[in-house]
Chain A
């Protein structure tokens, strides 16, 4: 699976708009994940997961920054996320089903912040991009 030219353009355009809100978007995405899908909290027993927690904000920023790396290297997402892919396979071992949940919550967050930009085409591009990122992050699982 790879992104078409127009899908890449959509992702990069949205990314430019997200630039000033990255921590906010990451934090909100995680917050939505934990609210809607409480089972995902099992991966964070060591975190304070209350809204506004410093750990949540730091982790949200981290997640979005990694997605930014993928977006900037959209021709080679595998290469850009190689280290994270190993981490998820050997250390974090997050069950693959959770990548869909996180992806969904990111799309919900983008839809609330950028309703005019989150057209059907943008929705498709982002869903596909997150699907690509998810498969890269799980490709070393076994």
Chain B
């Protein structure tokens, strides 16, 4: 259960307001597939993933990245109740998608790095700490229904 202070929540929502969900999602997912190539195992149908530039430019990667990040928006709107918010998605990732929850942690950290590269100095250690709590909470919530 993640507990965020009022300042941490404000830091998160403040940054999120400036995020381009479509681009950031595509970039985060793309980087996951580049930096941790074994994660490509879930995306056999995505076409050309043969090089970093192929991956980062792949339209299916961008579309799916946008989907993932849009869903992340639910986390931001429900920071006090992540487990219920992601219950259905947790079941889906376990029963249908068969995704090892370690991948949620990897993607969360990649997202943090993407935000850092976009926001530079504004992504202060305190802002980062708030986001680390959130991505960790989302990863836990997405693992909650695993059996």
* A residues neighboring B (CB under 8 Å): 28, 31-32, 35-37, 51, 104, 107-109, 111-113, 115, 118-121, 123-124, 127
Residues of chain A contacted by B119 (CB below 8 angstroms): 112
A-B pairs with beta carbons under 8 A, tally:
60
What residue of chain A has the Cβ atom nearest to residue B27's Cβ?
Answer: A120
Give the distance in Å from the alpha carbon of A104 to the alpha carbon of B126 in the complex.
15
Q: Does B56 contact A (CB under 8 A)?
A: yes
Give the distance in Å from the alpha carbon of A30 to the alpha carbon of B106 in the complex.
21
Interface residues as binary, B16-43 with A (CB distance below 8 Å gives 1, 0 otherwise): 0000000000000011001110000000
Contact A124 B35 (CB under 8 A): yes
Residues of chain B contacted by A124 (CB below 8 angstroms): 34-35, 52
Given A112-B116, A115-B117 in contact, is the A35-B126 Cβ separation under 8 Å?
yes
Interface size on B, residues (CB 8 A): 24
Q: Distance (Å) between the CB of B52 and the closest chain A CB?
A: 5
Q: Distance (Å) between the CB of A90 and the closest chain B CB?
A: 30
Give the distance in Å from the alpha carbon of A104 to the alpha carbon of B128 in the complex.
11
* B residues neighboring A (CB under 8 Å): 30-31, 34-36, 52, 55-56, 109, 112-114, 116-121, 123, 125-126, 128-129, 132
Given A120-B31, A124-B35, A127-B35 in contact, is the A28-B55 Cβ separation under 8 Å?
no
Our pick among B109, B117, B129 for the contact of A118 (Cβ within 8 Å) is B117
Contact A111 B128 (CB under 8 A): no
Given A120-B35, A120-B52, A124-B52 in contact, is the A111-B116 Cβ separation under 8 Å?
yes
Given A108-B112, A120-B35, A123-B35 in contact, is the A36-B117 Cβ separation under 8 Å?
no
Q: Distance (Å) between the CB of A64 and the closest chain B CB?
A: 17
Residues of chain B contacted by A32 (CB below 8 angstroms): 125, 128-129
Q: Distance (Å) between the CB of A13 and the closest chain B CB?
A: 16
Give the distance in Å from the alpha carbon of A119 to the alpha carbon of B31 in the complex.
9
Tell me if A's interface is mostly helix, strand, loop or mixed. helix
Residues of chain B contacted by A107 (CB below 8 angstroms): 113
Our pick among A31, A118, A120 for the contact of B56 (Cβ within 8 Å) is A120
Contact A120 B128 (CB under 8 A): no
Given A36-B128, A36-B129 in contact, is the A120-B113 Cβ separation under 8 Å?
no
Q: List 18 A-B contacts (CB under 8 A).
A: A32-B129, A35-B126, A35-B128, A104-B109, A104-B112, A109-B116, A111-B114, A111-B117, A112-B117, A112-B119, A113-B120, A118-B113, A119-B52, A120-B35, A121-B34, A124-B34, A124-B35, A127-B35
Q: Distance (Å) between the CB of B102 and the closest chain A CB?
A: 12
Q: Distance (Å) between the CB of B119 and the closest chain A CB?
A: 8
Give the distance in Å from the alpha carbon of A111 to the alpha carbon of B122 in the complex.
12
Residues of chain B contacted by A31 (CB below 8 angstroms): 125
